[in-house]
Amino acid sequence: MKRIALNTFGPWAVITGASSGIGEEFARQLAASGLHLVLVARRLKALNTLGSELTRAYGISTRVVELDLTTNDALEKLSEATRDLDIGLLISNAGAMLAGDFLSLDYEALRRDLRLNVQTHLDLTYHFGSRLAQRGHGGLLLVASTTGLQGVPFAAEYGAAKAYVLSLGEALHVEFQRMGVHVTVLSPGATDTPMITVSGFDPATMPMKPMTTRQCVSEGLAALAANRAVHIPGYFNRLLATMLPRSLATSMYGNMMRQTITKRSVPPKDILQAMR
């Protein structure tokens, strides 16, 4: 578990997608550092349960914001819900993957995911980035993915969206340096969260065992504290990302995704409903 400096990144952090997986683990590790937390997602009950648990365990304050980030007024609502708080850190983590043959996927669902996976990062980094620039310290951590390093057949929108997040964060890392604000892109490989199973993967048959959220997040927070532009957690993930030629990586992802969607018993639309 990585602890980060309260006087640099506190007193409050906003975490999107805090109701499960990587976002939930960010909440746990930041709470252990003593940061107060704004927990954002659609599932209110999960957020309330997590908030109460972290308040009991660490004596921190939490504010729960039930929000669908794909709605038109999402930024306005989040801005209003956090106006009175001194925010030192944004963890822009919420994301979703639609896996399947491109043309078999629902077009409106693809557009919603694009909005979540791309526009939300732009909106939140602009909004909280302006607040952090004014106070002259703090951090923005954007969660991308190693899928953003090349095209990903059968998850084409997802991979392309993550390429956007990677590029956005890399650029902002340079721009925000002069304002004293850390910007880090965390690009995990396969990580053990509900996203893996909901997308149809069987962790037992994946070529590499998914990483724990604990390792993924503690590496991410260490990279943020050190103000690294991009961090891929896990030695093997880093090795693959640097050694594999892009075209080979695309075909490797394509094979893995094709096998997954062929084997899975639940069609994409039902998977999508399970995620909502």
Ligand X SMILES: NC(=O)c1ccc[n+]([C@@H]2O[C@H](COP(=O)([O-])OP(=O)(O)OC[C@H]3O[C@@H](n4cnc5c(N)ncnc54)[C@H](OP(=O)(O)O)[C@@H]3O)[C@@H](O)[C@H]2O)c1
Stretch that binds ligand X, among 5-13, 66-74, 99-107, 175-183 (CB under 6 A): 66-74
Closest CB 168 distance from ligand X, rounded Å: 13
SS3 189: coil
**94 is an interface residue for ligand X by CB under 6 A:** yes
Question: Binding string, 28-57, against ligand X, x = CB under 6 A?
Answer: -------------xxx--------------
Is the distance from CB of 107 to CB of 156 less than 8 angstroms? no
- Token pair in block for residue 34: 């003593």
| Chain position carrying tokens 């310290």 | 137
If you write DSSP's letter for every residue of 143-166 in order, what string do you get?
Answer: E--GGGGS--TTSHHHHHHHHHHH
**145 is an interface residue for ligand X by CB under 6 A:** yes
Q: Judged by CB under 6 A, which of 10, 88, 138, 188 binds ligand X?
A: 188
Strand partners, 89: 13, 139
Q: Which of 256, 42, 68, 227 is nearest to 146 (CA)?
A: 256
**149 is an interface residue for ligand X by CB under 6 A:** no
* Interatomic CA distance for residues 17 and 92, integer angstroms: 8
Closest CB 6 distance from ligand X, rounded Å: 24
202-261 positions binding ligand X, by CB under 6 A: none
**156 is an interface residue for ligand X by CB under 6 A:** no
Is the distance from CB of 116 to CB of 94 less than 8 angstroms? yes
DSSP letter, residue 211? B
Residue in 58, 107, 126, 158 annotated catalytic: 158
Stretch that binds ligand X, among 52-60, 61-69, 176-184, 256-264 (CB under 6 A): 61-69
Q: Which of 31, 38, 24 is nearest to 212 (CA)?
A: 24
* Interatomic CA distance for residues 34 and 89, integer angstroms: 13
20 vs 33 by CB, closer to ligand X = 20
Q: Judged by CB under 6 A, which of 90, 116, 155, 221 binds ligand X?
A: 116
Strand 87-92 vs strand 12-16: parallel, antiparallel, or unpaired?
Answer: parallel
**114 is an interface residue for ligand X by CB under 6 A:** no
Q: Judged by CB under 6 A, which of 13, 14, 23, 271 binds ligand X?
A: 23
**163 is an interface residue for ligand X by CB under 6 A:** no
Q: Judge whether 158 counts as a catalytic residue.
A: yes
- Would you tell me which residues interact with ligand X (CB under 6 A)? 17-23, 41-43, 67-70, 93-96, 116, 143, 145, 188, 190-191, 193-196
**Residues noted as catalytic:** 158
